Homo-oligomer: A and B are copies of this chain.
Amino acid sequence: MYGKFLVEGHKTVLELLSSGFKIDSIYATAKWISENKINFNVLIAEVTEAELQKIATHENPQEVIAVANIPASSADAQLKKGKYIALDQINDPGNAGTIIRIADWFGLDGVIFSENSVDVFNPKVVSAAKGSLFRVPFYYMDLEKCFAANGHFPVLGTFMEGESIYSKQFPTDGILLIGNEANGISESLSAAIQHRISIPKFGQAESLNAGVAAGILISEWKKQA
């Protein structure tokens, strides 16, 4: 199934239908079809729940699955003014989807994935992003080149000894870099980080989950600017 991706479940399929994404086909139960009058030019195939279960990647499939077209990726290296989040080799699909959802909630201008990050069209990312994937601009880039091509944008990243986000004055525009789940920010990228920040720690956990850290950092950033 080249150039296509799966969207599973009622809520996310409805978000897909109201997005600009091109839909290839929809597989749904008779009940779902009768309850959801779809006025789009799209092939709808009636299937049984047992058949849906065979297509589904989730353990608990719902009544509908759509096949959509992966849009042509824009290779724009030049970013417009705004607030971005960059992900340095994020491997966990749940984290990637959660971060896209955070970017949507806080109205960020885009999510930039390093080329070795998880594929956003992985069904687990689609599921964790809960429809935000259809709204948030995202890019796959070589992050070193991206930072070099956007030298006017400050880059922010977390380090144990970084300045507390509770006292930090954030820049209005910039790119917040989130490191890999196990290894943090790559050595090769750390030279590009002008703002070394940290989330204060009061207890003993070694680290926070990448999605949780992204949420706390972006909340503080949006609060100020």
Contact = CB atoms under 8 A, between A and B. Distances in A.
Interface stretch (A73-81, A189-197, A208-216): A208-216
B108 A203 contact: yes
Interface stretch (A23-31, A49-57, A98-106, A147-155): A98-106
Interface in A119-135: 128, 130-132, 135
Contacts of A101: 205, 208-209, 212
Contacts of A199: 105, 219
A134 B131 CA distance: 36
Interface in A68-105: 94, 98, 101-105
B94 A205 contact: no
A208 B132 CA distance: 11
How many protomers of this protein does the assembly include? 2
Interface residues of A, number: 37
Contacts of A202: 105-107, 222
Contacts of A211: 98, 209, 211-212
A129 to B, nearest CB: 9
Nearest to A224: B166
13 contacts: A98-B209, A102-B205, A104-B203, A105-B201, A106-B203, A130-B205, A132-B204, A199-B219, A200-B222, A209-B215, A211-B211, A213-B215, A219-B220
Interface of A: 94, 98, 101-108, 128, 130-132, 135, 166, 199-209, 211-216, 219-220, 222-223
